[in-house]
Structure 1
Amino acid sequence: MAAGDRLTHPRTPAGARRARRRTRRADATEKTGVIMNASRGGWNDPELDALAEGLRIAHARVADLSPLVRPQMTRHLLVITDLAKRDAALALRRLESFLGDLDGDENVP
């Protein structure tokens, strides 16, 4: 890589950039109380964890559907995903019903 191709200032060592990034993350965590880039499972709420896992499963199953059924089921799943932002309990009930429909549908592989 040529010296002119560098994306950052050539005199700024990589260690200094990482230190600044860590400082910004620590400042943001201190202000908001939310850990940036937290790993999965950081909610400590079993209902939200179940909803997130169910949505992952449903999205994977819808992606495997035939092209004839996929658009309709995708729209239905997107409605449930949007509902999850406002009412997690209702979204979980609808997701369970949706997964039941996928299990009982003869068009589903």
Structure 2
Amino acid sequence: MLRKVDKHSGVPAYLQIVNMIKSEILLGNLQKGAQLPSVRDLQVIFDVNINTVLKALEKLKNEGYIESEQGVGYFVKKDIDVNKEVIEIIRECVSKLKNGRIDYYTAMLIFEEVWKNE
């Protein structure tokens, strides 16, 4: 889901935009060939300066996620196939963490430690 960037998160706005668009591709909400909203629409959605949107789109282009057609717009260049079962496992895990009142940052610290030790 594309939403306004969190200007107080400490993460640069353009990286938040990059991560949101990558997430939409990973979750299958944006598939290969899909056209992104116009730059001006993205500016409104993310509530940022147009240059911030352009910087994010340029990064996504450089990483091979999107491509642009002059005068037409930006399109998803590749699918990132994530096993639907894996996504469901993550959803269940997140639900359990939230029910256990474990906040996002604590969960990420735990995840990182488990990841390193596996």
Per the normalisation by structure 1, the TM-score is 0.30
Larger Rg: 1
Q: Which has the higher helix share?
A: 1
Per the normalisation by structure 2, the TM-score is 0.29
- With a CA cutoff of 8 Å and minimum separation of 6, indicate the structure with the bigger relative contact order: 2
